[in-house]
């Protein structure tokens, strides 16, 4: 099967099969537009794509993949230093940019290939090698410049097929979302998913509650920030009752948001888990049970395990926390030009070290506690999951957002410290509130009020910025 199977094979001429930020095209026309881009690439090995939320981005990515050219998405808001690093590190030979409109950067002297939405082609070409590179996605760690994760066409296909199985994702669906098109969530799931599986796609542009409500989709993707804003506008949330599936990812969905969303929409939110390096590996199923505090079961072909600090396997008893390791067909091929980082990310028997702390139940259900570096707090001999404390804080009616970290402490090792966006609630009240809900040793020793939590483009809280303040 071709990677973009539906795009390559469909004879569907329905208008607005793919609609991006107000501009739509039928499948047949999208294929012809992408074929014209593929013609312009002339066998280039890899190409950067200026990844805005526009039709030109979708056409450019699709055209490169039809041509067998690896895609390096460049965030539209990337500064000169970041943009230069992505281009030089990836050795992108050219940059696909919109033919009309302002170009966002100089792109280090690379040739620019315009994506002209008036040009079409009926050319065809053989399907590239499934082992070939589809995407080089840059992911930031805690130190150093972003690393390029090399993802094969085979891995992308395995991820999307696994999600189609878990979510019952078919050409009858209309997928709605407003996610950035340079990450796994928005680009791989949110664009390549429809191009492979055949669902129509409506990207709403800026993801406001009103735009989500007005799209009349059957399948919605969002991050916790989006879902939280939707629940704050009850009439918008109630408009999603006709959807069959709401999916949340890229960060943990606060329990209170999931509860409110279920009450307003009549739909339990499906959560899933993955990383740039692994794509999506674990998810709840559309037709199965939903457990608000978990991310589900491994997708077909994916294996998972928990280990301690010495890589010794831990029991899947639903209580024991350990680092989650995964292996399977969705894993990346490695970090570009980073053999040391690549070696450090894998065990000697081939498992990928996610760096995430989780529990696995006897029935296989996974609960993600958080990042080992920031979300597993070792305080006074106890191992405390930051997410559990955050959920407890968010249950207080005066707390709107919460992030919990471990701050170095000479006595405890780490001190449980909370940052909250809240009404005028006393620190002592919040500490006592958590202590009444959880074990006393899990209570925050300090609560700091902030105006906002630092977040990235997908809504993930950047805890490293809190701990360096």
**Residue whose pair of structure tokens reads 């139940």 in the numeric block:** 361
Report residue 362: phi and psi, to 5°.
Answer: -60, -25
pLDDT tens-digit readout, 357-388: 999 999 999 998 877 666 778 786 666 878 77
**Helices and strands of the chain, counted as H and E runs:** 14, 25
Whole-number Cα distances in Å, 447 to 397, 428, 454, 462: 16, 8, 16, 17
- What is d(CA 23, CA 202) in angstroms, rounded to the nearest whole number? 9
Structural domain includes residue 204: no
Structural domain includes residue 426: yes
What mean pLDDT is predicted for residues 88-98? 94
Structural domain includes residue 38: yes
- What is d(CA 48, CA 71) in angstroms, rounded to the nearest whole number? 6
Q: Which residues of 11-45 are buried (b: 16+ CB within 10 A; e: fewer)?
A: eeeeeebbbbbeebbbbbbbbbbbbbbbebbeebe
Residue that finishes a domain, picked among 190, 209, 230: 190
Residue that finishes a domain, picked among 190, 225, 248: 190
Report DSSP state, residue 442.
Answer: G
Query: What residues are paired with 335 via a beta bridge?
Result: 149
Whole-number Cα distances in Å, 344 to 173, 185, 277, 334: 40, 25, 13, 11
pLDDT tens-digit readout, 8-67: 999 888 888 999 988 999 999 999 999 999 999 988 999 999 999 999 999 999 999 999
Residue 61: its pLDDT value, please?
Answer: 98
Mean pLDDT of the chain: 90
Q: What CATH number is attached to the domain comprising 425?
A: 3.30.300.30
Structural domain includes residue 22: yes
Does the structure show a pLDDT above 90 at 304? yes
Q: Lowest mean pLDDT of 98-112, 130-144, 207-221, 333-347, name the range.
A: 98-112
Burial of 49 (0-12, 13-18, 19+ CB in 10 A): buried
Structural domain includes residue 393: yes
Residue 53: its pLDDT value, please?
Answer: 92
- What is d(CA 211, CA 190) in angstroms, rounded to the nearest whole number? 16
Does the structure show a pLDDT above 60 at 143? no
Q: What CATH number is attached to the domain comprising 114?
A: 3.40.50.12780
Residue 458: its pLDDT value, please?
Answer: 62
Does the structure show a pLDDT above 50 at 466? yes
Does the structure show a pLDDT above 80 at 245? yes
Q: Are strands 245-248 and 270-275 parallel, antiparallel or unpaired?
A: parallel
Q: Lowest mean pLDDT of 107-111, 207-211, 257-261, 394-398, name the range.
A: 107-111
What lies within 8 Å, CB to CB, of 438 at 6+ separation is 388, 389, 392
Report DSSP state, residue 266.
Answer: S
3-state secondary structure of 232: coil
Give the rounded percent of residues in the chain with a pLDDT score beyond 70: 95
Does the structure show a pLDDT above 60 at 142? no
Predicted confidence band of residue 447 (pLDDT cuts 50, 70, 90)? very high
Question: Which residues form the domain of 106?
Answer: 5-190
Query: What residues are paired with 384 via a beta bridge?
Result: 377
What mean pLDDT is predicted for residues 402-427? 88
Structural domain includes residue 97: yes
Closest CA to 421 of 450, 388, 463, 464: 450
Highest mean pLDDT range out of 322-331, 376-385, 406-415? 322-331
pLDDT tens-digit readout, 328-352: 999 999 999 999 999 999 998 899 9
- What is d(CA 45, CA 54) in angstroms, rounded to the nearest whole number? 24
Structural domain includes residue 295: no
- What is d(CA 219, CA 169) in angstroms, rounded to the nearest whole number? 8
Structural domain includes residue 265: no
Residue that finishes a domain, picked among 190, 211, 227: 190
Predicted confidence band of residue 81 (pLDDT cuts 50, 70, 90)? confident
- What is d(CA 460, CA 440) in angstroms, rounded to the nearest whole number? 28
Tally of domains within the chain: 2
What mean pLDDT is predicted for residues 199-226? 94
pLDDT tens-digit readout, 158-200: 999 999 999 999 999 999 999 999 989 999 999 999 999 999 9
Positive or negative torsion for Cα 272, 278, 281, 282: negative
């Amino acid at each position: 099967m071709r990677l973009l199977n539906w795009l390559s094979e469909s004879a569907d001429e329905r208008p607005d099969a793919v609609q991006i930020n107000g501009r739509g095209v039928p499948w047949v026309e999208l294929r012809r537009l992408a074929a014209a881009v593929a013609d312009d690439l002339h066998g280039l090995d890899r190409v950067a794509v200026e990844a805005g939320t526009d039709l030109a981005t979708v056409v450019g990515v699709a055209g490169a993949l039809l041509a067998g050219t690896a895609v390096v998405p460049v965030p539209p808001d990337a500064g000169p230093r970041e943009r230069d690093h992505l281009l030089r590190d990836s050795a992108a030979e050219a940059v696909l940019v919109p033919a009309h409109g302002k170009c966002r950067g100089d792109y280090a002297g690379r040739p620019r290939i315009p994506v002209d939405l008036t040009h079409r082609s009926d050319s065809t070409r053989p399907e590239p090698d499934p082992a070939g590179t589809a995407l080089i996605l840059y992911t930031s760690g805690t130190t150093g410049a972003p690393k390029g994760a090399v993802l094969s066409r085979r891995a992308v296909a395995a991820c999307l097929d696994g999600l189609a199985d878990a979510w019952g994702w078919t050409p009858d669906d209309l997928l709605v979302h407003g996610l950035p098109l340079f990450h796994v969530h928005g680009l791989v799931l949110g664009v390549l998913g429809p191009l492979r599986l055949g669902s129509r796609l409506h990207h709403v542009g800026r993801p406001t509650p009103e735009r989500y409500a007005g799209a009349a989709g059957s399948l919605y993707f969002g991050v916790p920030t989006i879902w939280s804003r939707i629940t704050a506008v009850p009439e918008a949330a109630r408009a999603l009752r006709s959807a069959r599936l709401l999916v949340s990812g890229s960060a943990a969905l606060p329990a209170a948001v999931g509860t409110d969303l279920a009450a307003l929409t009549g739909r339990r939110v499906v959560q899933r888990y993955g990383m740039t390096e692994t794509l999506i590996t674990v998810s709840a199923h559309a037709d199965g049970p939903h457990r608000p505090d978990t991310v589900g079961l491994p997708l077909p072909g994916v294996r998972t395990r928990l280990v301690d600090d010495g890589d010794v396997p831990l029991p899947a008893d639903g209580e024991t926390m350990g680092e989650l390791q995964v292996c399977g067909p969705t894993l990346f091929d490695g970090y570009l030009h980073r053999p040391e980082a690549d070696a450090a990310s894998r065990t000697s028997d081939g498992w990928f070290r996610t760096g995430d702390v989780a529990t696995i139940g006897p029935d296989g259900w996974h609960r993600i506690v958080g990042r080992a570096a920031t979300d597993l707090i070792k305080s006074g001999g106890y191992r405390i999951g930051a997410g559990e404390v955050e959920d407890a804080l968010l249950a207080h009616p005066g707390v709107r957002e919460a992030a919990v970290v471990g701050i170095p402490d000479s006595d405890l090792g780490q001190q449980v410290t909370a940052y909250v966006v809240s009404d005028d609630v006393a620190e002592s009240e919040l500490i006592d509130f958590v202590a009444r809900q959880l074990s006393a040793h899990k209570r925050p020793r300090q609560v700091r009020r902030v105006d906002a939590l630092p977040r990235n483009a997908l809504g993930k809280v950047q805890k490293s910025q809190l701990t360096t303040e």
